[in-house]
Amino acid sequence: MTELGPPRLSQEFLDYHAVGMVKHLQKAGFLAYLVGGCVRDLLSGHVPKDFDISTNALPQEVRRFLSYAFIIGRRFRLVLVKREDKQYEVATFRREPKENEFPEGIPFGDNIFGTPEQDAFRRDFTCNALFYDPISNEVIDYVNGQKDIEDHVIRMIGDPKVRLVEDPIRILRALRFAHKLHFRIEPTLRHHICELSDNLALSVLPRRREEFMKLLRLHDPAATFREGFDLNLWSKIAPELHKVYEKDEHVDLFEEKLRRLDSRLVDPSDTALLSGTLVLGWLRASSHSSSDDLIKTSDLHQNERLQNLAKDQLGLHNWELGRIVKALSLQRLLSSPDEFQKRGQRRRNAVIFSEAFPLAVDLAHIDAVLDPETLDYWDAQLSLANEQILSAPPPKPQRHGSQQHRSRRKAPSRRAKMPPRPKPR
């Protein structure tokens, strides 16, 4: 284990609840540290997005000592702890199985727990394998990760050739971390990434989709996608993107859209805007059209190449692609506010209250196809629509047996309501 002086780490970036959980587990007699990406970000000067905790307490023990804790997962069980509007993952230290430890294979649902050192060597890159004790202000480093962070290097733990074959998604993770942190990929790792890029096609599409979305959330996704081409990644998993970079005279049309994404991305979870921007850039580059031309309807509907890119290569869902196509189809209408004003109120409302309208306005900004005055007009329409939606009264709950349904029931006869006649004496 590498021992250095107190870490140069900004205490104000620490999460109050995460530190409190570490302190609570330590008071109960367990080892407990902050781990992974939050430690990496704290040491490299970034504000962490999530705070994960590692401990030697078993999942059921974590649940016993921390309130609002729930055990999740089937194969690898960990604890999800809720504090206010945040969630924290608390995982028990794990290790790799020993040789011949399970001759018949690891039993399903089995969790092989270990020590902090064993847990560190299971992780992918040295910068992600650091533990931090916020109580003693100490970094626990078994893999020389602190030095790699200081040197701005992405380095694989163990043999890169073995680890990349073991999980090819690590290729995309190395690319993402390098551009997120402004680090360089260590030369040996870079060599094996190029050599083993074919293995990316063996990874499952949902995991590749997740990495694509994370690449698009970076501050400069254009530079990231260009290096992905330099590493020969897109020819294996996204041939349509590879064709864009092969024809270098049109790649600027693609990268121009990616550079503008950051200015419109308010909600990082908006996968339609993320993927819509990439699709827009691809359409511009593949059709060799500048932003002076409106998107052609023929480029959107019955476009087999677009379907392949979106569904088979990026892993988009049908609803996402449908929303993107509808948004881009509105571009011609957005270019003519006067024509929109001539429509009746009902037809105008059908446009501005449609699900695709906000995305259409965002993509119009990213595409820069409309003049500033026209964009301001549609921004105003979007703001007005949002105000009306927020001010609208909530819908009344549907009561069981509505008035309309009751009116269909046969009314009782008048005679049935009359009191019975008295019997004669």
Same domain, 143 and 28: yes
In a domain, 281, yes or no: no
- In whole angstroms, give the CA distance from residue 336 to residue 153: 51
How many domains does the structure of the chain reveal?
2
Q: How many other β-carbons are positioned within 10 Å of the β-carbon of residue 351?
A: 17
User: For position 200, which CATH number holds?
Assistant: 1.10.110.30
Task: Decide if pLDDT at 409 tops 90.
Answer: no
pLDDT tens, position by position, 180-201: 999 999 999 999 999 999 999 9
pLDDT band at 407 (very low <50, low <70, confident <90, very high): very low
pLDDT band at 3 (very low <50, low <70, confident <90, very high): very low
User: For position 99, which CATH number holds?
Assistant: 3.30.460.10
Cβ neighbours of residue 4 under 8 Å, at least 6 residues apart? 139, 141, 146
Same domain, 22 and 141: yes
Same domain, 28 and 89: yes
Same domain, 10 and 115: yes
Nearest to 156 by CA among 180, 137, 183: 183
Task: Decide if pLDDT at 352 tops 60.
Answer: yes
- CB burial class (10 A; 0-12, 13-18, 19+) of residue 282? buried
pLDDT tens, position by position, 108-127: 445 788 999 999 999 999 99
Same domain, 18 and 71: yes
In a domain, 396, yes or no: no
Average of per-residue pLDDT across 158-164 = 96
Same domain, 120 and 222: no
Same domain, 77 and 105: yes
If you write DSSP's letter for every residue of 322-349 in order, what string do you get? HHHHHHHHTHHHHT-HHHHHTS-HHHHH
Query: Is the model more confident about 35 or about 386?
Result: 35
Residue where one domain finishes, among candidates 132, 150, 168:
150
Q: What is the pLDDT of residue 100?
A: 63
Same domain, 118 and 106: yes
In a domain, 77, yes or no: yes
Average of per-residue pLDDT across 305-315 = 95
Catalytic residues: 50, 52, 124
Same domain, 125 and 193: no
Average of per-residue pLDDT across 337-364 = 94
Residue 161: give the domain boundaries. 152-237
> Could you tell me the two tokens for 375?
């964009």
Residue where one domain finishes, among candidates 112, 132, 150:
150
Q: What is the pLDDT of residue 395?
A: 67
Residue where one domain finishes, among candidates 205, 221, 237:
237
Instruction: Indicate the pTM of the whole model.
Output: 0.85
pLDDT tens, position by position, 95-109: 887 766 655 555 544
